[in-house]
Amino acid sequence: MPRLLTLGLAVAGGVVADLGFPGLDLWGLSFVGVAMLFLALGRDSARWNTLVGFVWGLAFFVPHLYWTAIVVGPAVAIALPVLEALFVALFGAAWSWARRGAVIWRSPALQVLGFAVLWVAVEELRSVAPFGGFPWGRLAFSQADAPLLRLAWLGGVPLLSAVTAAIGALLAVALLALREVRVLRTLTSLGVLVALVFVGLFIPVGTRAEAGTLRLGAVQGNVDMDEPDPWKRQSGVVDNHAAGTRALLDEVEPGDLDVVLWPENVTATDLADDERSAGVVDEAARAIDAPILLGTIEYPTENTRFNTSVLWLPGEGIDQVYRKQRPAPFSEYIPLRDFARRIAPIVDSVSHDMVGGDAPGFVTIDSERLDREVGLAVAICFEVAYDWVIREGVLAGGEVLVVQTNNVTFGYSDESVQQLAMSRVRAVETGRATVQISTVGVSGLISPNGAVSHRTELFTPDQFTATVPLRTSITPAVRLGQYIVWAFAALGVAVVVAGAVGARHVRRAGRGRMLS
C-alpha cells in the first residue's frame, strides 16, 4: 500500500472509530476503525508505524475530545489529543516489534491476540500517566449498547477493550484473506468475529436485590445560563436543586425516601462557611425528611481546594465527606503552571489548585426502613473513567454506585453522553444499580445490567424517584480487577520482547507480507 494511502487509511480509521462512541453511538464502527488501523500498520518499519499510529490517534482524539476546547480554549485543548495520540504512536511502534517474531508472524490467530493484548496494555499505561493518566476514549466505552457489554462483569474495562480490539483485528484478517482468496481463513475469521460479538449474551448478569432495596430521589436542578452575573448564577444552582427536591413531594411523602442525590458542585463554596447555602440545603432536607448527598467545595488552604461530596442530615448538617481522589489536570489543577502559563495564560483562571482526597469513594446512610446502614460507592465526575476509583468504592461496601457530575461547562457537546456510557459500563462491571446525576444533564438511572430506565435531557430541570436493588456480591471484574490489569501489562511486555527476540529468526525481507 502506498505510504500516502496508508496515512489516509489511518485518518479515516481514527474518525470512524470515534463514530462508534456516543453521541452517534454506532458501536460497530469501533471495530471498523480498529481494523483500519490494523491494515494501516502493515509495513515492517517501526518508525513508520509510529507515525501511522500517531495520525490515527489524532484523527480519533481530536473529535472525541473536542469538548475540552469549550473549557480551556483551542490552544490548550489540542495538547490533550496530541498527548493521547502519542500513546497510539507508541502502540504502533510496539506492534511492529511484537509481530516480527516468527511465531506471531506466521499465525493470524496469534496476531489477533497479540494486537488485542498490546492495545489494552497501552490503554492501561495512558490511564495512569502522565499526571495520573486520562482514560477517556478507551475502546470499552464504545460498547455500552453492544452485546459485548456483559463482558465487563467478567473482566472489566480491560477485557471489554481487548475483545473490541480483537474483533477489529479479526475483521482486518478476514479482509486480507479475502483479498488473497483464502476462503477458509476468511470464513473462520468472520465466524470467530461473530461469536465474539455475541459471546457476552451468555454471561449471566444478576439484577435482583440481594440485600433489600433503596428508595432514592435524584434532582437535576439545572443552571440559569441567561443570568449574566456568574455569582448569582452559581448561588441560584443550590436554590434550583432545593426546588427540585420539594417537587419530589408530588410523588412521595416526607420520610419515604432513604436518600436524595444532588450532583457535583451544587455549591462552589464551603458549606461550613456559607450560611445561606447551608440553610437552603437544610430546608430542603427537612422538607423531604431524608439525607441529601451533594457536591460542594472545601478550601483547606489559601491556594488549594477539595472537590467534595457531603452527606447532609436534616437538622444536623454534614455527617460524612468524600473528597475526589483524581482531580483533572489542566482543569481542576494546573501541573507545570509556569510553563503552561506561557502557552495559555487562561490556566491562571484556576486560582486554587484542587488536591486529591486519600479515602475511597464510600458513604453510608442509616435507613430506618431497612434497620441498617446502606453503603453507597461514590465517584465524582471524571473519576467514572478510572477503574480503581470505582473498584475501591464497591470493595469498601458500596451496594449502589452514584456518579455525581457537573457538565454545565461542556454545553451541548458529547461529553455528558460519553460519561453516561461509562456509567453504564461501570454498572455491569460492578453489578450495581447506578445513578449518574448531573447539574444540567445528562442524568440517568441504570440497572446492574447496563440498561437505562430513566434519562434526562440537557439543560432541563428534572427530578425522579426510584426503588433500586441493593447488591452485595462482588463481580469477578471487581474482585480480580488489579490482577487483570497486571496480566495485560505483563503480557503486553512479553509480546513485544518475544517479537523482538524472535525477529532474529525471520529475514527482514520475508516479513513484508504479514499474513501470507
Q: What is the DSSP string of 402-433?
A: EEEE--GGGTTSSHHHHHHHHHHHHHHHHT--
Residue whose C-alpha is closest to residue 205's, from 515, 470, 475, 485: 475
> CA 273, 279, 282, 283: dihedral to nearest 10 degrees?
-170
pLDDT value for 293: 98
Neighbours of 183 (CB within 10 A): 10
**What digits encode the pLDDT tens for the residues 67-106?**
988 877 777 678 889 999 999 999 999 999 999 887 787 8
Between the alpha carbon of residue 128 and those of residues 19, 123, 136, 396, 501, the distances in Å are 25, 9, 11, 22, 28
What does pTM read for this prediction?
0.95
In DSSP notation, 426-485 reads HHHHHT--EEEEESSS--EEE-TTS-EEEEPPTT--EEEEEEEE---PPPHHHHTHHHHH
Determine whether 429 is an active site residue: no
pLDDT band, very low/low/confident/very high, at 351 (cuts 50, 70, 90): low
pLDDT value for 68: 86
- Give the Cα separation of 137 and 252 in Å (integer): 39
State yes or no: pLDDT of 329 exceeds 90.
no
**Any idea what DSSP says for residue 467?**
E
Q: Are 248 and 288 in contact (CB under 8 A)?
A: yes
pLDDT value for 235: 85
- Give the Cα separation of 465 and 213 in Å (integer): 13
* Mean pLDDT for the stretch of residues 21-44: 96
Q: Which is catalytic among the residues 84, 298, 381, 383?
A: 381
**Any idea what DSSP says for residue 266?**
S
Neighbours of 470 (CB within 10 A): 21
**What digits encode the pLDDT tens for the residues 450-484?**
999 999 999 999 999 999 999 999 999 999 999 99
pLDDT value for 250: 97
H helix runs in 182-333, sequence order: 183-198, 230-247, 275-288
Q: What CATH code would you report for 213-470? A: 3.60.110.10
Determine whether 373 is an active site residue: no
pLDDT value for 378: 98
* Mean pLDDT for the stretch of residues 104-120: 92
* Mean pLDDT for the stretch of residues 284-291: 98
pLDDT band, very low/low/confident/very high, at 267 (cuts 50, 70, 90): very high
State yes or no: pLDDT of 221 exceeds 90.
yes
Between the alpha carbon of residue 41 and those of residues 17, 64, 121, 172, the distances in Å are 16, 22, 18, 11
- Which helix (H) or strand (E) element contains residue 320? strand 317-323
Q: 434 pairs with which residues across the strands? A: 401, 446
Residue whose C-alpha is closest to residue 258's, from 465, 471, 473: 465
Q: Which is catalytic among the residues 84, 123, 124, 264?
A: 264
pLDDT value for 417: 97
Q: Which is catalytic among the residues 324, 332, 392, 429?
A: 324
**What digits encode the pLDDT tens for the residues 161-186?**
999 999 999 999 999 999 999 999 99
Between the alpha carbon of residue 321 and those of residues 241, 297, 311, the distances in Å are 19, 11, 6
Q: Are 282 and 319 in contact (CB under 8 A)?
A: no
Cell 449502589, residue located: 400
Cell numbers at residue 375, please? 453503603
State yes or no: pLDDT of 198 exceeds 80.
yes
pLDDT value for 232: 84
pLDDT band, very low/low/confident/very high, at 4 (cuts 50, 70, 90): very high
pLDDT value for 42: 93
State yes or no: pLDDT of 410 exceeds 80.
yes
pLDDT value for 334: 66
Cell 489536570, residue located: 329
In DSSP notation, 345-369 reads GGGGG--SEE---SS-SEEEEEETT
Determine whether 332 is an active site residue: no
Q: Are 108 and 158 in contact (CB under 8 A)?
A: no
State yes or no: pLDDT of 386 exceeds 50.
yes
Q: Are 380 and 264 in contact (CB under 8 A)?
A: yes
pLDDT band, very low/low/confident/very high, at 515 (cuts 50, 70, 90): very low
pLDDT value for 379: 98
What percent of the chain stands above pLDDT 90? 81
pLDDT value for 101: 80
**What digits encode the pLDDT tens for the residues 417-456?**
999 999 999 999 999 999 999 999 999 999 999 999 999 9
pLDDT value for 501: 84
The greatest distance separating any two alpha carbons of the chain, rounded to the nearest whole angstrom, comes to 78
pLDDT value for 331: 66
- Give the Cα separation of 263 and 221 in Å (integer): 9
pLDDT value for 344: 62
* Mean pLDDT for the stretch of residues 327-345: 67
Half-sphere exposure of 64 (CA within 13 A, CB side): 30
* Mean pLDDT for the stretch of residues 381-400: 97
**Mean pLDDT lowest for which of 16-30, 326-340, 367-381?**
326-340
pLDDT value for 513: 47
Q: Are 265 and 297 in contact (CB under 8 A)?
A: yes
Q: What is the mean pLDDT of the chain?
A: 92
pLDDT value for 106: 81
> Between these two residues, 234 and 439, which has the higher pLDDT value?
439
* Mean pLDDT for the stretch of residues 329-358: 69
State yes or no: pLDDT of 345 exceeds 50.
yes
pLDDT value for 69: 85
